[in-house]
Amino acid sequence: MSDQADSTLPAARSPANSKVLLALLAVYLIWGSTYLGTRIAVQSFPPFSLGGVRYLLAGGALYGVLRHRGAPPPRRSEWLAALFVGVLLLGLGNGLTSLALVTVSSGVVAIVIATTPLWSVAFASLWGARPVRLELIGLGLGLAGVYTLQRGGAFAGSAVGLWVALVASLTWALGSVWSGRLPRPAGMMTSAVQMLAGGASMLAIGVARGERVGVVTTAAVLAFVYLVVFGSVVAFTAYQFLLVSTRPALATSYAFVNPVIALLLGALVADEALSVHHFVACGLTVLAVVCVLRARVSVTA
């Protein structure tokens, strides 16, 4: 199976190359920039409350549109599964990522979060999906990337923040693997209910932590609006378009493009420090994810 769209697909499922390109650019640039956007927003808005409001707004809007179009409401078992997965993906995965961005640069956090597909391979093995050689190579390269960050002093700047980001990538990977084994509604309704459940869990965590809004700046408000409109709605819609219009390997290629975008934006916009260790770690992580994605293509071909 190649990375390109299948030329044997019916014409109705073969969109113009320009539409695919625009969707890819949206996923690459928008999701790559959400790390910087979140880092700006959390300077005024507490991390879990920020994510909770963001995903409740986005999930509520998507749920309303789908119901208006005639999509059936989720069953009780699907809501319970959505709550479980939403806590792992958003409550912990996204929430802890936002928490890490309070003290760690957006580029470094993006590199750590980019290792998520590697941990997915490890968790999948718990259900009998033994990793192939290329996936094991990817795991090794990913660990080498994290080690390179540590050697470069990234962990010394905020060791707690980096470990928080690493736990975030682990919980996101676990939620991603587990979600495929739980009941869920059809189509995009799955994402809508997961965002609603995850957003509610994030608000609950925020209340438990006693989060309070700080001094609100214009930059933080604009970053929050950007995260809701572009990060959660536009990019997500573009990603869904890619999932049904292209090969999975192409649709998921954002995983090894986002850390590069985040690293460059952090340096250019927020004057985040860069070093040779950052670039080496980023390169190792990108190569690791490429190995895992290529392995998945080979297995499913």
Dump pLDDT digits (tens) for 63-106. Answer: 999 999 998 999 999 999 888 888 898 889 989 999 998 888 88
Phi, psi of 186 (to 5 degrees): -80, 150
**What distance in Å separates the CA atoms of residue 165 and residue 113, rounded to the nearest whole number?**
7
**What distance in Å separates the CA atoms of residue 288 and residue 144, rounded to the nearest whole number?**
9
Phi, psi of 182 (to 5 degrees): -120, 155
Please give the DSSP secondary-structure letter assigned to residue 16. Answer: -
Closest CA to 288 of 89, 41, 37, 119: 119
Dump pLDDT digits (tens) for 217-240. Answer: 999 999 999 998 898 878 877 886
Residue 3 has pLDDT above 50, yes or no: no
Under a CB-based contact definition with an 8 Å cutoff, are residues 228 and 58 in contact? yes
The reported pLDDT for the residue numbered 279 is: 80
Q: Over range 24-48, report the average pLDDT.
A: 91
Dump pLDDT digits (tens) for 242-269. Answer: 766 776 556 667 777 888 888 888 888 8
Write down the domain spans for the chain: 16-300
Dump pLDDT digits (tens) for 136-186. Answer: 787 788 778 777 766 666 555 677 888 898 899 899 888 878 877 788 787
The reported pLDDT for the residue numbered 219 is: 93
